[in-house]
Structure 1
Amino acid sequence: MGINYPNGQPFKKNATDRPQKSQHVLYGNRGMSLEAELNESNKYYLDHGIAVIHKKPIPIQIVDVSYPKRSAAVIREAYFKQASTTDYNGVYHGKYLDFDAKETKNKVSFPLKNFHKHQIEHMRACQKQGGICFAIVKFVTTNQLFLLPCDVLFEYWDQQATGRKSIPKEVISKRGFEIFYRLAPKIAYLDGVDQLLKQIKKD
């Protein structure tokens, strides 16, 4: 199936955006992507009345469909109606959360090319309205997860023209919050959100 942006250009994912297999031995399911792990965690949070957070649907306009069987339709061509923003949003303790989830095989830094300008602009707008914005970053080779506050992301994004094109893992570890796999929820990322909220309140 060919999927295109509104301007007609074909959609291509960056290699570092592709879901990678989880290599966590104790609690991570082998072959489960970060997105699937977060979706499962969000279901746990919803079922237990902790938070209401969902993955945002991607608006797609279908333009070509074939019917090889009466009971099955195959989409041959489709277009994104608009550029997607971030992956997830919802409400937790009266706070609006808006965040994206990214994976990288890079061992020492997180490439900023994984983000797009419209995503950064969206998070800036949400933060301006009092929303809590961040990224969940997974370093695949070490199976480590971090909650990266949007302020750190903005800082490095704005320096790209004259600075580096990535955020060092050391910075993410120091200025972000490490989050961990558990039995339930699978990814306890709201623990990181709690730490972020305390930091915001303190500042």
Structure 2
Amino acid sequence: MVFHYPNGRKYASGTKYGDLSTSRPLQINYGKRGMTLEEDLNESNQYYLSQSIAVVHKKPTPIQIVDVHYPKRSAAVIKEAYFKQASTTDYNGVYKGKYLDFEAKETRNSTSFPLQNVHEHQILHMEQVLRQQGIAFIIIRFATLEEIYLMEAHHLIAFWNRMLSGGRKSITKQEVESTSYKIPITFQPRIDYIKVIDKLIAKE
């Protein structure tokens, strides 16, 4: 089956997670590299749900089907489809009466986080969430370092605006460390970002 991204490029199953900024509902094969950020977050969210801690789900990416074959009357095989451009962020949900909305990005760059991994419509969406008193953020994984950070949306928006003003097109690793919360990898849940959310709520 052939999938295409909104720019028309074919989806390649071997593409590294952080190289393209479009959201992917399909699994990326990392071989022995371990689980992707998306898989870890999905497992973590399932743990939160099973323990009645929080209700957070990944938003499905719309797919436009353009070619379907019917080898049998009772079966349909999708031969070609396109990933539609996502309009918001990767995940949303509710925790302790607070609306959560966040993006998850992974990069193999060990010294900075490229802002090309984020889309303008995602920044605008986060701004809208903040105006409604929701909690918006981005979870960043530096894959080669196996380090994960939670950055609040207002910091991400500030770095984005710096870029628009002619500044650097990435966030340095040092800037990520100074403006974000580091999340350790644990057994259950794998990425316990709710502990950070507790800190954000306590600050309000």
Bin for the TM-score computed over the shorter chain: 0.7 to 0.9
Q: 1:12 to 1:193 in 2, by over 3 A?
A: farther
Structure 2 residue 58 is the aligned partner of structure 1 residue 55: yes
Give the structure 1 partner of residue 68 of structure 2: 65
Amino acid corresponding to residue 144 of structure 1 in structure 2: E
Cα drift, residue 159 of structure 1? 1.2
Cα drift, residue 34 of structure 1? 0.7
Q: Using the TM superposition, name which of 56-65 and 67-76 deviates more.
A: 67-76
Amino acid corresponding to residue 122 of structure 1 in structure 2: H
Q: 1:32 to 1:157 in 2, by over 3 A?
A: same
Structure 2 residue 4 is the aligned partner of structure 1 residue 3: yes
Query: Runs of 4+ in structure 1 displaced over 6 angstroms?
Result: none
Q: Equivalents in 2 of 1:104, 1:131: separation in Å? A: 26
Asked if the contact 1:22/1:143 (under 8 Å) is kept, the reply is no
Matched residue SS, 2:150: strand
Q: Equivalents in 2 of 1:36, 1:144: separation in Å? A: 15
Asked if the contact 1:102/1:138 (under 8 Å) is kept, the reply is yes
Give the structure 2 partner of residue 26 of structure 1: none
* 1:164 aligns with one of 163, 168, 193: 168
- TM-score when normalising by structure 2: 0.84
Cα drift, residue 22 of structure 1? 9.6
Matched residue SS, 1:102: strand
* 2:177 aligns with one of 157, 173, 179: 173
Matched residue SS, 1:184: coil
Q: Equivalents in 2 of 1:20, 1:195: separation in Å? A: 34
Q: 1:20 to 1:103 in 2, by over 3 A?
A: farther
Cα drift, residue 64 of structure 1? 1.2
Cα drift, residue 53 of structure 1? 0.2
Give the structure 2 partner of residue 134 of structure 1: 137
Identity %: 51
- TM-score when normalising by structure 1: 0.84
Q: Equivalents in 1 of 2:129, 2:9: separation in Å? A: 26
- 1:68-147 mapped onto 2 (5 Å cutoff): 68=71, 73-80=76-83, 83-147=86-150
Q: Could you list the runs of 5+ residues in structure 1 that have no partner in the other structure? A: 24-29
Amino acid corresponding to residue 54 of structure 1 in structure 2: H
Cα deviations across residues 19-70 of structure 1 (Å, max 9, x unaligned)?
58498xxxxxx53111011000000000000000000011223221123566
Give the structure 1 partner of residue 14 of structure 2: none
* 1:183 aligns with one of 187, 193, 202: 187
Q: Could you list the runs of 5+ residues in structure 2 that have no partner in the other structure? A: 12-17
Amino acid corresponding to residue 111 of structure 1 in structure 2: P
Asked if the contact 2:181/2:196 (under 8 Å) is kept, the reply is yes
Structure 2 residue 158 is the aligned partner of structure 1 residue 155: yes
Cα drift, residue 90 of structure 1? 0.1
Residue-pair matches, total: 191
Amino acid corresponding to residue 104 of structure 2 in structure 1: A
Q: 1:72 to 1:141 in 2, by over 3 A?
A: farther
Q: Equivalents in 2 of 1:12, 1:104: separation in Å? A: 21
Q: Equivalents in 2 of 1:127, 1:168: separation in Å? A: 24
Q: Equivalents in 2 of 1:155, 1:103: separation in Å? A: 20
